[in-house]
Structure 1
Amino acid sequence: MVLAPGEAKRLLLERREELQQLAEASEEARAPVRLDQQAVGRLSRMDAMQQQAMSRAEDGRRQQELARIEAALRRLQDDPEGYGHCLSCGDLIADRRLRLDPAITRCIACAH
């Protein structure tokens, strides 16, 4: 059974919404760390800077996934019949693989 274009679109839109909500929720964690020695000790400030760096890295991964989702939505719109086919070899991508990540572009064989 192949993932239907309508279901793929629904899954992609749901994931996009989830990622956008996560980005909004973590916005404060990516904010610049204040260097006020009175308010935060040196170790606490270093910890805050580390947390900020990790939050920014996570945001970068979210942005990459959002770009993959947008590309998949464009593929669905431009060629609904071609959705679910590997961009490398043209074979169908396994249904389970598409359900786990509807933005995936390659079959298992080509992904390795």
Structure 2
Amino acid sequence: MNTADLDHFRRLIHQRLSDLAAQSAAGQDAQSVVELDQQAVGRLSRMDALQNQAMAKAQQVRRDAEVHRLQAALVRMDEDEFGYCEDCGDEIARGRLELDLAASKCVSCAAG
């Protein structure tokens, strides 16, 4: 992988990390503690609020996992290992990296 390709993927990774940080900031309110005052809202409204809170927390877990994978991809870039399969050492197809910036395995190894 040449320097221009690495710069391209580094920019994409940093942009994605920025997007994830913005999404996390926007989702903080949805993860807050749900008020359980029966006088303020009905039972179904509270159940909806609890379900929305659970979904917001699950989305945050997925965002955190993606951030971790993208940060690992940046480390692989610094170690000149980005774009190469961690199992077999073959080059990972550019199309695969475009779809999954944090891909660490070629299609063959990922398939098992």
TM-score, normalised by the number of residues in structure 2: 0.93
Tell me, which stretches of 5 or more residues in structure 1 are unaligned?
none
Aligned to 2:29: 28
For 1:51, what is the secondary structure of its paired residue? helix
2:77 is the counterpart of 1:76? yes
Asked which structure has the greater RCO (Cα within 8 Å, sep 6+), the reply is 1
Distance 1:6 1:35 in 2: 50
**What is the CA deviation profile of residues 53-99 of structure 1, one whole-angstrom value per residue up to 9, with x for unaligned ones?**
011001000000000011111111122xx210011111111110101
Distance 1:96 1:43 in 2: 46
Percent identical pairs in the alignment equals 46
TM-score, normalised by the number of residues in structure 1: 0.93
For 1:37, what is the secondary structure of its paired residue? coil
Tell me, which stretches of 5 or more residues in structure 2 are unaligned?
none
Distance 1:84 1:35 in 2: 50
Aligned to 1:10: 11
Question: Cα RMSD (Å) of the superposition?
Answer: 1.4
Aligned positions of 1:17-96 closer than 5 A:
17-79=18-80, 82-96=81-95
